[in-house]
Amino acid sequence: MLSKLGKLRESFKKFIDSVVDTATTLLIPKEKLYEALEEFKLELISRDVAFEAAEDIANKIKELIEEKKIRDKKTLVKTLREIISSYFESAGRIDILELAKTRKPLKIVFMGVNGVGKTTSIAKVAVYLREHGHRPLMIAADTFRAAAQEQLKKHSEKTGIPVFMGKYGADPASVAYDGISYAQNRGFDVVLIDTAGRMHTDVDLVNELRKIMKVVKPDLKLLVVDALTGNDAIEQARFFNDAVGVDGFIVTKYDAYEEGGVPISLVYVLKKPIVFIGTGQDYRDLKPFNHLEYLDKVLPQED
Ligand SMILES: Nc1nc2c(ncn2[C@@H]2O[C@H](COP(=O)(O)OP(=O)(O)OP(=O)(O)O)[C@@H](O)[C@H]2O)c(=O)[nH]1
Ligand SMILES: [Mg+2]
C-alpha cells in the first residue's frame, strides 16, 4: 500500500522525470513535451484532480515552458507549487477559533451525504474547541433516523461534550432552534448542528436544509466529504453549494487517502477553503488543514 497521498505524488514525479532531460534541463522537442503534458493531465484526473484544475495546471506549465520561463527542474517544481498554492490562497481561510471569539454563540451547521463522517467530525470539532477553552454544545437535528440521535449521544457520553437531542421525527429546524436557545440560556459559546445524511439528490433533504438555514442563520455552513469518494466528493460539493451554500469543507478519511487530488479539486472548483481534515477514528484525529503541508507531501523537493 502506498502512503497517504502517495499516488498523486507518484504522478507529479512521473511527469517531472519525463520532461527533465538531464539533471537540470527540460526536454526541448515540442512533440515530446506536448505528449508528456497530455499524459500528465490524464494522470492528474485519475488521481481525483478535477478536469478543470488539471487542465489549468497543464496549460500554465505549457505556456511557461514555451516562454522559456521554466528551463530546469527546480523552476518546474517551484512553479507547480506556486500554481497549486494560488488555488488554496484564493479560496481564503476559515479559523473557527477566530470566529468563536466574536460570535456568541457561534453557530455551525454540518452537512453531507450518508456515512461521510459528519457525526464523528462534530464530536472531533467539539473536542478541539473545548481544548481551546470553549464550551461547545452538539445539537442532534438529524431526526430522520432514530439511530442518528443515539450516535451523537454516544459521542457525548464518550467525550463529555453535552448534546441537545430532538425527538425522532421532529422538525429538524425547530430542534436546531430550541437547541440554540438552550445554548444561549446556559452559556455555551459554540453550537454544532448535526443534520440528516441522505442521498444528496434527495429533494426533501434540500428543503429540510433550507429551512434549517433560514431558522438557524448559521455563521458557518460546513460540508463534510469523504476523501475516499474522490470525484463524487466534488459532485456533492457542487450540489450542496448550489442548494444551500457552503462556506468550507471538512475532508474525512484523509488517513487512508492515497489518490491525493480531492483537496485541489474542492478549492479549485468551489473556491472555498478546507477547514479541517479527519485523520483517523479517534476524537483527536482532526487537524486544521494546511495547504503548505499538503504541497510538501505531494510535490517532490525542488532539487
Ligand atoms: N479512518 C477514518 N474514519 C473516519 C473518519 N471520520 C469518520 N470516520 C468513520 O466513518 C464512519 C462513519 O462516520 P459517521 O460520523 O457515523 O458518518 P455520518 O456522516 O454521520 O453518517 P450518517 O449519519 O449515517 O449519514 C465511522 O465508522 C467513523 O469512525 C476519518 O477521518 N478517518
Ligand atoms: Mg451521522
Task: Specify the pLDDT at position 169.
Answer: 77
* Residue 101 sits in the same domain as residue 68: no
Please give all residues whose CB falls under 5 A of ion ligand 2, grouped by chain where several chains appear.
118-119
* Residue 149 sits in the same domain as residue 209: yes
Q: Which three cell numbers stand for residue 298?
A: 505531494
Residue 6 CA to ligand 2 center (angstroms) comes to 29
| Confidence at 37, pLDDT banded by 50, 70, 90 | very high
> Which is higher by pLDDT, 103 or 81?
81
Asked if the structure places residue 29 within a domain, the reply is yes
90, 108, 125 - which closes a domain: 90
CATH code at 20?
1.20.120.140
* Residue 72 sits in the same domain as residue 118: no
Interval 150-191: pLDDT, tens: 899 999 999 999 999 977 778 999 999 999 999 999 999 999
36, 59, 90 - which closes a domain: 90
* Residue 144 sits in the same domain as residue 69: no
Q: Which residues, listed in sequence order, are joined to residue 276 by a DSSP beta bridge?
A: 250, 288
Q: How far apart are the first and last CA of the chain?
A: 27
Residue from 1, 110, 120 whose mutation best tests the ligand 1 pocket (most atoms within 8 A of CB): 120
CATH code at 202?
3.40.50.300
34, 69, 90 - which closes a domain: 90
* Residue 66 sits in the same domain as residue 125: no
Asked if the structure places residue 298 within a domain, the reply is no
Question: Does the beta carbon of 116 lie inside 6 Å of ligand 1?
Answer: yes
* Residue 82 sits in the same domain as residue 112: no
* Residue 19 sits in the same domain as residue 38: yes
* Residue 202 sits in the same domain as residue 171: yes
* Residue 25 sits in the same domain as residue 159: no
Asked if the structure places residue 113 within a domain, the reply is yes
Asked if the structure places residue 292 within a domain, the reply is no
Task: Specify the pLDDT at position 201.
Answer: 60
Rounded CA separation 297/267 (Å): 17
Asked if the structure places residue 280 within a domain, the reply is no
Cis ω on the peptide bond leading into residue 300 (within 30° of 0)? no
Which residue range(s) make up the domain with 217? Answer: 96-246
Question: Does the beta carbon of 277 lie inside 6 Å of ligand 1?
Answer: no
Q: Is the separation of the CB atoms in 53 and 45 below 8 Å?
A: no
What is the tally of structural domains in the chain? 2
Residue 281 CA to ligand 2 center (angstroms) comes to 14
pLDDT of 243 > 50? The answer is: yes
* Residue 103 sits in the same domain as residue 238: yes
Q: What is the pTM of this model?
A: 0.95
| Confidence at 72, pLDDT banded by 50, 70, 90 | confident
Closest CA to 223 of 203, 197, 202, 204: 197
User: Which atom of ligand 1 sits closest to the CA of residue 252?
Assistant: 31
